[in-house]
A and B are shown apart, each in its own frame.
Chain A
Amino acid sequence: GAGVSQSPSNKVTEKGKDVELRCDPISGHTALYWYRQRLGQGLEFLIYFQGNSAPDKSGLPSDRFSAERTGESVSTLTIQRTQQEDSAVYLCASRLKGQNYGYTFGSGTRLTVV
């Protein structure tokens, strides 16, 4: 596609439920990143994919968070047993391997845990 697509754009969930967030990167972009932006704060790195492997998961805040990627395509970020502190905007970005300056960000998924 022309840009990075994320769905849903907004998600309201009850505390304790599981949620799945989706990211469709730009076609051909082998590198994919997930970030979290809490209200009034900067972006926190969560996880990096190169193809379908995740060499850097260092930013995942707990074992309730997991992510997977199918080939060099769609990625899903899953949060189990959501807590109120998980409320944030989750942003996805992709880029071509080797072009470590050409990041394209999606519009994000705003997650609200009530």
Chain B
Amino acid sequence: AQSVTQLDSQVPVFEEAPVELRCNYSSSVSVYLFWYVQYPNQGLQLLLKYLSGSTLVKGINGFEAEFNKSQTSFHLRKPSVHISDTAEYFCAVSDSTGFGNEKLTFGTGTRLTIIP
């Protein structure tokens, strides 16, 4: 079984400032890691994913995340945010062994608010 912790439920950031959204996970097996974004009144959109290889993953809209196996973390970063980044961000994991049902387990989300 897996679990995901997003410690920050809300993060206010000034426009053009950098941001980091934290995600820690727990799993007894190897995992894939994901960040999804949900804009107001819209569905979930995949920002980026870590499957294997380089631990630094780049996604859409200038976001990137770094997989740290020893710290079981997958923090999301952006060097300079825009008003349009205001949204809810969800970290998720799935079993990568191929023996599970590969369902996604989500964190509770972080609401990113950009202040003009």
Residue numbers of A with Cβ under 8 A of B are: 31, 33, 35, 41-45, 48, 50, 55-56, 91, 93, 95, 98, 100-101, 103, 105-108
Q: A44-B106, A56-B101 are in contact. List 19 more A-B contacts (CB 8 A).
A: A33-B103, A35-B106, A41-B109, A42-B90, A42-B106, A43-B104, A45-B104, A45-B105, A55-B101, A91-B44, A98-B98, A100-B96, A101-B34, A101-B49, A101-B51, A101-B94, A103-B46, A103-B104, A107-B43
Residues of B near any A CB (own CB < 8 A) = 32, 34, 36, 42-44, 46, 49, 51, 90, 92, 94-96, 98, 101-109
The CB with the most chain B CB atoms within 10 A, among A44, A103, A108, is that of A103
A33 to B92, CA, bound (A): 14
Complex: A45 Cα to B106 Cα, angstroms: 9
5 CB < 8 A contacts A-B: A33-B103, A42-B108, A43-B90, A101-B94, A106-B43
Are B109 and A42 in contact (CB-based, < 8 A)?
Answer: yes
Residues from chain B with a CB closer than 8 A to the CB of A98 are 98
Chain A's interface: helix, strand, loop or mixed, by majority? strand
Given B43, B51, B103, B108, which contacts A91 in the complex, CB threshold below 8 Å? B43
B94/A100 in contact, CB under 8 A: yes
What residue of chain B has the Cβ atom nearest to residue A93's Cβ?
B104
B10 to chain A, nearest CB (A): 10
Give chain A nearest CB distance to B27 CB in angstroms.
14
Q: A100-B94, A107-B43 are in contact. Are A48 and B106 (CB under 8 A)?
A: no
The residue on A at minimum CB distance from B49 is: A101
Say whether A33 contacts B44, CB under 8 Å. no
For A101, list chain B residues within 8 Å (CB).
32, 34, 49, 51, 94
